[in-house]
Amino acid sequence: MRKRFLSLWLPLAMLAAPASLHAQAVITLDSSVTYQVMRGWEVGTYVSAPCEPYFAALRDSLVRIAVDDVGINRLRLEVRSGAENTVDYYARWVADGCPAPPDSAYYSWRRNRYATVNDNPYPNSLDEAGFHFTELDWEVENIVMPMRQRLEARGERLFVNLLYVAFTGQIEGGEYHHDEPEEYAEFMLAVFLHLRRKYNLVPDALEVILEPDNVRQWSGTSVGEAIVAVVERLTERGFHPRIIAPSCSS
């Protein structure tokens, strides 16, 4: 009880302390001196509960506040490795109402969302039927496009950073093959082609992998090899995104 009492009241006591107990700070701005210039403010597109009806009701207000009040002009658009699979596990989860733990439908989604099933054994021959971009499409249609339209109405442009996510430690019983550079490059090419064809959207940057230090199949060497492979593959098809790496955990 004493510990709980102290944790509750100590911050309040500090707030109530007389101002005279604290040193007075004076900040002076020199407008003639310029250092780094912030050109963009970025947030992620991930929504934990896409089935939540309140999101649809509040989305336009959230977009307005993000653009007009906060100044957000960059989005980090995530794509999970499990989009290359014979089964659309995300669509199944949504069809079940986006249940949370301990619902079995949630765990089915969780243990398969980063598992991959190769579209075919040939990384230079892409089979579009082997990819399911249902989750990616939802984020584009509900977050990216409204943000882009809002910014364009202001005469501004949305910067899109495509982020690859593969927390393979969640996989149970499935496989993973994107640690092979050419297979990774094929997957990212499939994403770029899909976004351009369906939404006329071409990512400005590619963040190679989120927290590779938390993915046992990846290392500094494999990140470098993936960059070489994906840049070559994307360049062949006319894509020239900025490359962001490594995105290690902090």
Q: Higher pLDDT residue, 46 or 140?
A: 140
Task: Determine, yes or no, domain membership for 185.
Answer: yes
Task: Determine, yes or no, domain membership for 150.
Answer: yes
Q: Which two tokens stand for residue 12?
A: 């309040």
- Give me the amino acid identity at 203: P
Task: Determine, yes or no, domain membership for 7.
Answer: no
Q: For 142-151, write each residue's pLDDT tens digit.
A: 999 999 999 9
Range of the domain at 122: 34-244
Could you tell me if 208 and 164 are in contact, meaning their C-beta atoms sit under 8 angstroms apart?
Answer: yes
**Looking at residue 8, what is its pLDDT?**
44
Model confidence band, residue 21 (pLDDT cutoffs 50, 70, 90) = low
Count of structural domains within the chain:
1
193: number of Cβ within 10 Å: 16
Average pLDDT value over all residues in the chain: 92
Task: Determine, yes or no, domain membership for 17.
Answer: no
Task: Determine, yes or no, domain membership for 233.
Answer: yes
Question: pTM to 2 decimals?
Answer: 0.86
Task: Determine, yes or no, domain membership for 23.
Answer: no
Residue of 48, 77, 68 lying closest to 201 (CA atoms): 77
Task: Determine, yes or no, domain membership for 3.
Answer: no
Model confidence band, residue 22 (pLDDT cutoffs 50, 70, 90) = low
Report how far residue 104's alpha carbon sits from residue 93's, in angstroms, rounded to the nearest whole number.
Answer: 10
Report how far residue 96's alpha carbon sits from residue 51's, in angstroms, rounded to the nearest whole number.
Answer: 10
Report how far residue 177's alpha carbon sits from residue 230's, in angstroms, rounded to the nearest whole number.
Answer: 15
Q: For 186-203, write each residue's pLDDT tens digit.
A: 999 999 999 999 999 999
Task: Determine, yes or no, domain membership for 225.
Answer: yes
